[in-house]
Amino acid sequence: MNRLLVHILLSPRFFYRKLGVNIAQLKAILSTKLLMDERRPNSLQQVQQKKSDKPTKASTLGTMIMAAFLGIVFIFPLLLTNDHLTQFTLFFTLLVFFLSMMLITDFTSVLIEVRDNLIILPKPVNEKTFLLARLLHIIAHVSKIVLPMCLPSFIYLSFNIKWHGVIVLMLLIPFSTLLSIFIINMVYLIILKITTPEKFKTIISYIQIVFSIVVYGSYQLLPRLMKDVISNQFIIPQKSILLFCPPYWFAGGWLFLYEQHFTPILFSAFLLSILIPILCIWLVIKYFAPAFTAKLSLISGSVTDEISTLHKKVLPNKKSRPFKEQLVNILTNTNMQRMGFLHTWYMTARSRDFKMKVYPSIGYVIVLLVLSLFKIKQRNFAAIVDSLKVDISYIITGMYFSGFILLIALGQLKISAKWKASWIYYTTPITTPGNIINGAVKALIIKFFAIPGLIVFIVGITVGGIAQLPNLLLCISNQLFITYLIAYLSINMFPFSEDELSNQRGKNFLYSMMILLIPVCIGGMHYLFYNNIPIVIIMLCLSAIAVWLVHGSVNELSWSKIKIKA
């Protein structure tokens, strides 16, 4: 398929040659770039990747299928109402949003490939060839996403409106695509303005994480919201104030061309939908692109190393130090535990791999929590509080749910891309490896459970009163027990010492079953008796003893239980 794409893109050879472009080199760059795209994990795979031993193949096809799947969401607004202006304003809002999000994550790896500077620039390739190759690559890349993304809507529309309506839509989509590219450029510029190029990639990963959460959330929420909107007869009117909202231009433009409603507002919308994207893209080419290519080349260039190390002075963070020191002193009682705690504390805050794996799950848990609130039929806040008062089981469920974040983090504790650095554990005189693992687990508990647990605890006490204290304490104690039990069963290595690749599917599956079954069993037991406070108190005592025992077992894990990987 790539060959076909290259063929199509290179068809105006005569014109390119006139521009002074070297066709042979252009073809070489373009086909290599497309080949590399094929082998690169696409934007959603980057977040949810379960790295396997197999190298990525036919990633384009995957991207296209995924884009088509995402595109199904665009049909919702079309189903929502019969008012075209409302339908298409929402349609273009979703399109611009999803497209920007999908492209934003690819832009670093695909469109502004910093390695190009070292690999292609020293070669005898003139600037025009280089720029045209980049431009055609962008077009190829974007169309691979936009076309399948809009396909479900095209199919739906072709059954429901006249055919030329679909054609008009096809004409407007490239303009909304240009707008999305402009938005991405602006986001990039802002990020580069407020932060250093080194942090750039980290921020892009955060955006990626947010994107995957939004996608997950929108699939869960949109169908539910739709019902509400339909029952309220929601309609977007023709008002000039709405011209400040870009998706409205495209919807207006579509109505203007398709239904030939020649009102001033629709005409302005039509003009804006064509002119603004062209203006934006001109701005990008003329001003923004050169500025940020220059800045981005700093990301991997040795220039940054020289400059940043010169100008950056490491300021001792006086405020936070005593707090962390105190925390460590309270929670750990040996040097080894302390080391495990601090190492995990720093790594979880700084390692991008870790964050990419764990943070999306935090988002998913939040989405699920929000959804479980939706299940409570009451819609206003006071009513929700009332129903929580009546039924404390929501609070209990919430507490166990928030524990999932911790368990997911625990599952990632062993794994690191920099696992080779774990030689430090094997060459130093560590007597009881369990000490370090215990410290690490403590750090995870503080980081990933303390805050959500505390929030749920406070909410629980507020709505349920002091009478619910045993139930809440049992939740916390059980959560600690679950965590330590799973740590005891699953951790056979030091923190951050296992290669991602060796973490095979089978093990992942086993771990997933474990983090599902153990909390469900223990939480289920709690659920059965939560109304019977004396039993809850007895369970609390038993649970506390169990925590104490299993905590001790983890702390005592010996070398014979540890897998050495060097």
* Residue 43 CB, nearest approach to other proteins (Å): 16
* Residue 249 CB, nearest approach to other proteins (Å): 39
Measured from the CB atom, is 123 or 224 closer to other proteins?
Answer: 123
* Residue 295 CB, nearest approach to other proteins (Å): 13
Binding residue for other proteins (CB under 8 A) from 35, 225, 291, 510? 35
* Residue 38 CB, nearest approach to other proteins (Å): 9
- In the shown chain, the binding pattern of residues 45 to 64 toward other proteins, with x for contact by CB under 8 A and - for none, equals ----------xx--------
Measured from the CB atom, is 22 or 205 closer to other proteins?
Answer: 22
Which residues of 284-372 form beta strands (DSSP E)? none
Measured from the CB atom, is 127 or 228 closer to other proteins?
Answer: 127
The answer for 58, left when phi > 0, alpha when psi is -120 to 50, beta otherwise, is: left
CB neighbour list of residue 27: distance below 8 Å, 6 or more residues apart: 6, 10
Sole window of 28-36, 61-69, 75-83, 384-392 interacting with other proteins (rule: CB under 8 A):
28-36
| 40 makes contact with other proteins (CB under 8 A) | yes
* Residue 421 CB, nearest approach to other proteins (Å): 16
Backbone angles phi, psi at 415, to 5 degrees: -90, 140
Measured from the CB atom, is 306 or 325 closer to other proteins?
Answer: 306
CB neighbour list of residue 129: distance below 8 Å, 6 or more residues apart: 21, 22, 25, 26, 29
Torsion of CA 546, 548, 554, 555, to 10 degrees: -170
| 428 makes contact with other proteins (CB under 8 A) | no
Q: Rounded distance, CA 398 to CA 460, Å?
A: 10
Report the 3 state secondary structure along 443-475.
Answer: HHHHHHCHHHHHHHHHHHHHHHCHHHHHHHHHH
* Residue 125 CB, nearest approach to other proteins (Å): 6
Q: Maximum CA pair distance of the chain?
A: 88
Q: SS3 helix, strand, coil % of the chain, rounded to 5?
A: 80, 0, 20
Note the helical H segments in 469-504.
469-490
Q: Rounded distance, CA 498 to CA 418, Å?
A: 9
Measured from the CB atom, is 310 or 330 closer to other proteins?
Answer: 310
Measured from the CB atom, is 501 or 541 closer to other proteins?
Answer: 501
Given a contact cutoff of 8 angstroms between Cβ atoms, the answer to whether 479 and 429 are in contact is no
| 23 makes contact with other proteins (CB under 8 A) | no
CB neighbour list of residue 37: distance below 8 Å, 6 or more residues apart: 59, 60, 110, 141
Give the H/E segment covering residue 200.
helix 197-231
Number of amino acids touching other proteins (CB under 8 A)? 30
Binding residue for other proteins (CB under 8 A) from 39, 321, 379, 420? 39
CB neighbour list of residue 80: distance below 8 Å, 6 or more residues apart: 86, 87, 90, 226, 229, 230, 234
| 30 makes contact with other proteins (CB under 8 A) | no
Measured from the CB atom, is 122 or 429 closer to other proteins?
Answer: 122
Measured from the CB atom, is 123 or 164 closer to other proteins?
Answer: 123
Tell me how many degrees the CA angle 115-119-123 measures, rounded to the nearest 5.
145
Measured from the CB atom, is 307 or 541 closer to other proteins?
Answer: 307
Sole window of 24-32, 134-142, 191-199, 327-335 interacting with other proteins (rule: CB under 8 A):
24-32
- In the shown chain, the binding pattern of residues 111 to 140 toward other proteins, with x for contact by CB under 8 A and - for none, equals ----x-xxxxxxxxxx--------------
* Residue 6 CB, nearest approach to other proteins (Å): 13
* Residue 92 CB, nearest approach to other proteins (Å): 35
Does residue 351 sit in helix, strand or coil?
A: coil
* Residue 98 CB, nearest approach to other proteins (Å): 26
The token pair that represents 448 in the structure block: 């990933």
Sole window of 199-207, 303-311, 404-412, 510-518 interacting with other proteins (rule: CB under 8 A):
303-311
In the chain the first and final C-alpha atoms are separated, in Å, by 43
Backbone angles phi, psi at 498, to 5 degrees: -115, 140
Site residues for other proteins, 309-328, by CB under 8 A, read: 310
| 302 makes contact with other proteins (CB under 8 A) | yes
Q: Rounded distance, CA 422 to CA 442, Å?
A: 19
Binding residue for other proteins (CB under 8 A) from 171, 307, 454, 564? 307
Binding residue for other proteins (CB under 8 A) from 2, 10, 36, 514? 36
| 210 makes contact with other proteins (CB under 8 A) | no
Residues found near other proteins in the complex (CB under 8 A): 22, 24-25, 27-29, 32, 35-36, 39-40, 55-56, 115, 117-126, 300, 302-303, 306-307, 310
